[in-house]
Structure 1
Amino acid sequence: MTRTLHSGSRSGSGGRALYVFAVCRDLDPGIPGRSSGLPGGEPVRALPLGAHLSAVVQTVRADDFTDDVWQERLTDQEELERYARAHHAVVTAAAGGAPTVPLPMATLYHGDESARAALASQVARFDRALDRVAHHAEWGVKVFLSPSAGPGAASREETAATPPDRARPAAGSGLAYLNRRRNIQENRQRRHVEAGLRADAVDEAFRRVATEARRLRLRSAPSGDQGVQVLNATYLVAEARSAELHRLAESLREPGDVRVALSGPWVPYSFVGEVEG
């Protein structure tokens, strides 16, 4: 999570600051008030930026966002998650009623006028991002291969192929051992290629439904998870094509060693990166 400071730094003076969650187009002013917002803050509200744009904001205690306090919060996982959930809840509520560009967590200004001046100077950038995500949602797709089919299977074969003792091998066993190692290496390479091809095929299929797509870094499976991740991607999909997206995901969930996990819909955080608070 990042903290964005504007209009100079603040010390713990007991004053107030303006926290900005998102910028929306044609936002119903009543929608922000449906979210409770951050702990200890005033009611969440809309701050008009012009004819069609509004920021979703909340007046908060400046003391809660000094450099020292925020750095301490970053080390407290429970407290950080509490703020992250509150931030996400407000953004999600806004996105449920209008095209929305989320801003980074802890984007702060001294007050309404400084926020309005800074955000209004980026109207063109907000408009481009809003044009892109309007009537769209973000969907995540992860593809897993079963352990027997994944690239890690080769390491288990290698362990099994290595003699448990280091006794002197019988005549001719050296060649057999080298052949086993070569076969293991070839199997490992084949599995890596097959995993890449399967991931590419799934990604290509989802890209045909999506407006935009991004492939993310692969993540190691948590302990006890059955499967090797070969695709971690996110897709910007028009609302009108969400049923098509679900049908595609179901068609790829055929019995076998491939598992496709679809998650969403989410606010399209991954596709508004050009806009900052």
Structure 2
Amino acid sequence: MTERGSERSDANATYVFAVCWNPDPSAFRGLSGVTGEFPVRTLPLAKLTAIIQTVRAHDFTDEAWQARLADRQELECYARAHHDVVTAAAASCPTVPVPMATVYHGEQRASEALGKEAERFHVALERIAHHAEWGVKVYAPPPPAAGSLRTAEPSARVRPTPGAGLAYLDRKRSAQERRERSQHEALQAAETVDAEVRLLAAASRRLRPHEPQLSGERRSQILNATYLVADHRVEELAELTRSLSRRTGLDIDLSGPWVPYSFVGEV
């Protein structure tokens, strides 16, 4: 969707945040958008409405955007500003976010391009209306204690009793088997969690579990999933995750509601 290229220094462009049904224009008051120079506003598209902002075209050339991608702090600011506008829209009506930095050479070009995708937008909006995205993360219990194998290990300085080395290896093998069994049982329980939550949800997606060294989380994450849940079933979802935690003995984190980015498809 994005149109970029070399632009005159004084040329304007149209930045698109989202497409939705009947948004409340007052929802965007006070939002600076991605630049703060021009107001965030609506653009009628027949039965749809786009949430847009006028921006300076030279700020979104290929060269300018590549430089922004290399600056993590600036990129995070843009991402946060984009998300704030999408969240404001979603709070007032069903909303399909569009990718960050979707920019057109003026409102007419934006209207034409978005209008060609009207059917897909309607399908996505019908799917997510009166629904929100909820995240479920499941963590395995701590592995069984390894015991005092280190102190029991035969020493070259002390003559071991007959069979001591074999007994040590048996204990070590048993400890490894307990850890593997515990991990297997936790993974099976996590599958139970996913299966039961999917029965309640309208749609679901499995995501890659976060690595502890990347997330800073000490617990071992064994399920990272997101679900599209109807608004009237949110309390049921919360009770289900509490019940599943009690039944499985697993730590289960429920987060949301979020704008359903995971369930709007590629638009």
Establish whether TM, by shorter chain, passes 0.5. Answer: yes
Contact 1:212–1:237 (Cα < 8 Å) also in 2? yes
Aligned residues: 265
- Return the offset for 1:249: 2.5
Is residue 195 from structure 1 mapped to residue 186 from structure 2 by the alignment?
Answer: yes
Aligned to 1:97: 92
Cα distance in 2, alignment partners of residues 164 and 113 from structure 1 = 81
Alpha-carbon distance, 1:158 to partner: 11
Q: Report deviation, 1:139.
A: 0.5
Q: Deviations over 1:181-227 (max 9, x none)?
A: 43244223312311211111111221122111111101122586442
Write the letter of the residue equivalent to 2:231.
E
String of CA shifts for 1:26-82, please: whole Å, max 9, x gaps: 2234434453211243101111111x2011000111222222222222222221111
Kindly indicate whether residue 199 of structure 2 is the aligned counterpart of residue 208 of structure 1. Answer: yes
| Aligned-partner Cα distance in 2 for 1:219–1:166 | 43
Whether the 8 Å CA contact 1:147–1:226 is kept in 2: the answer is no
CA distance in 2, matches of 1:211, 1:161: 54
Q: Does 1:250 align with 2:250?
A: no
Taking structure 1 as reference, are residues 255 and 210 closer, same or farther at Cα in structure 2, changes over 3 Å only? Answer: closer
SS in 1 for 2:5: coil
Aligned to 1:36: 32
Equivalent AA in structure 1 for residue 34 of structure 2: L
One-letter code aligned to 1:49:
L
TM value normalised by structure 1: 0.85
User: Amino acid of the residue matched to residue 9 of structure 1?
Assistant: G
CA RMSD of aligned residues (A): 2.8
d(CA) in 2 for partners of 1:56, 1:162: 68
**Match of residue 61 from structure 1:** 56
Specify the alignment match of 1:117 in structure 2. Answer: 112
Preserved CA contact (<8 Å) 1:12 1:66: no
| C-alpha separation in 1, matches of 2:114 and 2:130 | 23
In structure 2, relative to structure 1, the CA distance for the partners of 1:159 and 1:226 (3 Å cut) is farther
Aligned partners of 1:58 and 1:88: how far apart in 2? 14
Q: Supply the distance in 1 between the matched residues of 2:138 and 2:36 (Cα, whole angstroms).
A: 41
Distance in 2, Cα, partners of 1:172 & 1:266: 60
Q: Distance in 2 between matches of 1:256 and 1:161?
A: 34
Taking the aligned partners of 2:248 and 2:183, their CA distance within structure 1 comes to 17
Question: Could you tell me which residue of structure 1 aligns to residue 124 of structure 2?
Answer: 129
Deviations 1:125-176 (A, max 9, x none): 1111111101100001111123236xxx7xx679858959777984534433
What are the within-5 Å matches in structure 2 for residues 1-277 of structure 1?
A: 5-6=2-3, 9-11=5-7, 13-50=9-46, 52-148=47-143, 160=150, 163=153, 170=160, 172-222=163-213, 225-254=217-246, 257-275=249-267
Q: For 2:108 and 2:250, how far apart are their aligned partners in 1?
A: 54
The Cα shift of 1:260 comes to 1.1
TM-score normalised by structure 2 residue count? 0.87
Could you list the runs of 5+ residues in structure 2 that have no partner in the other structure?
Answer: none
Letter in 1 for 2:173: R
Q: What secondary structure is seen at the aligned counterpart in 2 of 1:31?
A: helix
Identify if the C-alpha distance between structure 1 residues 164 and 265 changes in structure 2 by more than 3 Å, giving closer, same or farther. farther
Question: What amino acid maps onto 1:75 in structure 2?
Answer: A
Cα distance between partner residues in 2 of 1:169 and 1:16: 85
Q: Which amino acid aligns with 1:24?
A: C
CA contact (8 A) 1:158 1:184 kept: no
Partners of 1:116 and 1:253 in 2: CA distance: 48
Structure whose residues are more often helix by fraction: 2
